[in-house]
A = this chain, B = another copy of it.
Amino acid sequence: MSSQSIPQPEELFTITGVTAEFDVTARTLRHYEEIGLISPLRRGSQRLYTARDRVRIRLILRGRRLGFALGEIHEMLDLYDADPTEVTQLREVIQRGDDKLQELYTQVAELQEVITELVELRARMKIRLDAITAEGEPL
C-alpha cells in the first residue's frame, strides 16, 4: 500500500508570483522565511514556492488579520507540522491544540461582546438621528 504522495510536476511559483497572488511584498515573504514560517525551495539562489508554502502563507496572513503575532502563528503551524512518534509527544501536541482552541473560544466571545455594544450604540445614535430629521424635515 503506497499512499505516498507522488511528486507531481508541481506548480512552482516565483516570488513575484506569490506577491501577486497574496498582495504582499517580497520583503514580507523573505521575512517570513527568516523567522522560519516558510522554507521555499531554491533553484540556485532563487526561491520557488510550492503549493505547501502557499497554503502556509495563506494561513499566516489570515492569522495576521486576526491579530495574532507571528510567534503565535508559528506555534499554530507547528501543530499542523507535528508528526510525533511517541505517545507522550502526541498527547502534548493535542494539549497545546486544546489550549489554543480555548483561547480562540474566549476571543470569539469577547468579539461578540464588542459587537453587541457597537450595535446598541448604533441603535441609540439612530434614534437621535431619526428624532432630529423628523423635526427638521417633515417630509
A interface list, Cβ under 8 A from B: 62-63, 65-68, 76, 79-80, 87, 90-91, 93-94, 97-98, 100-101, 104-105, 107-108, 110-115, 118-119, 121-122, 125-126, 128-129, 132-133, 136
30 inter-chain pairs at a CB distance below 8 angstroms, sorted by A residue, are: A62-B113, A62-B114, A63-B114, A65-B107, A66-B67, A66-B107, A66-B110, A66-B111, A67-B67, A76-B118, A79-B118, A79-B121, A87-B132, A87-B133, A90-B128, A90-B129, A94-B122, A94-B125, A94-B129, A97-B122, A98-B122, A100-B118, A101-B118, A101-B119, A104-B115, A104-B118, A105-B115, A108-B108, A108-B112, A111-B111
Residues B108 and A104 in contact, CB atoms below 8 Å apart = no
The complex places the Cα of A136 from the Cα of B90 at a distance, in Å, of 15
Rounded to whole angstroms, the CA-CA distance of A87 and B121 in the bound complex is 16
Stoichiometry (number of copies): 2
B79 touches A126 (CB 8 A): no
Q: Is the CB of A129 within 8 A of B87?
A: yes
The CA of A67 and the CA of B76, in the complex, are separated in Å by: 16
